Amino acid sequence: MAANSEHQHKFTSGTDRPQFERRDDVSADLPIGEMSPEDAVDMKDSGEAAETPAASSESTDHASHASADSAVRAEPTESERDRFLRLAADFDNYKKRVAREYEDLVRSANLRLLRSILDVFDNFDRALTGGASGDNLDAYRKGIELIHSQFNDLLAREKVTAIDALGKPFDPNLHEAVMQMASDEYDEGIICQEVQKGYMIDSRVVRHARVVVSSGRQKTE
């Protein structure tokens, strides 16, 4: 026990006390393998802290340069403005040209159709000019039938077909109901009478067929 006290006294005396110099960067002189985990983390943090101001300054410089470049690019040059105005004028002229070409195409199609209709009209005019009498009623009727056939041929060339309505279920996409009436021949919802023919071009309705729709058999009391 006394020996321990003497040993302790030697370390606490002024002459024999070992002098330990405090060094904050002691870990910097140690090899990586001999560092404690705490020293390694402190060394990494100090290095990152030293590099952060420079990196922050560099990113700020890049951001300022980028904003300056974008500001310069946002302002179009004189040649770019002229090019934009020319493109806008060319596109406006293109739209006007397409509109004129479409109108010309429609007029040309209408002229072709009207010429075909006028041929039929001429035949009607001749029939009315010749008139009908007791001796030529049959010939007159045949002439009207020929004109009717000519007109049907005209519609067929234009791909116009009549809508088949009588005896068919009522379809609002094809038919227009003018009234509903009882019918012993047709069930309810079936077209029992056609007032005016309807026509289509391909699958597009030109005119709806005007029809009478059956309400079913008439109820008797």
pLDDT digits 0-9 by tens, 114-125: 888 898 889 888
Banded pLDDT at 187 (limits 50, 70, 90)? very high
Q: What domains are defined for the chain?
A: 81-158 (3.90.20.20), 160-221 (2.30.22.10)
Nearest CA to 157 among 109, 189, 103? 109
Banded pLDDT at 128 (limits 50, 70, 90)? confident
Tokens of 134: 């007791």
pLDDT for the residue 20: 46
CA dihedral 182→183→184→186, nearest 10 degrees, is: -130
Count CB-CB contacts under 10 A for residue 165. 23
Nearest CA to 124 among 109, 143, 105? 143
* Beta carbons within 8 Å of 162's beta carbon, 6+ residues apart: 197, 198, 199
Tokens of 195: 């007032």
Q: What is the mean pLDDT of the chain?
A: 76
Banded pLDDT at 80 (limits 50, 70, 90)? confident
pLDDT for the residue 65: 56
pLDDT digits 0-9 by tens, 95-112: 999 999 998 888 887 888
> Could you tell me the pTM of the whole model?
0.50
- The DSSP output letter for 158 is T
Count CB-CB contacts under 10 A for residue 175. 21
Mean pLDDT score, 161-178:
94
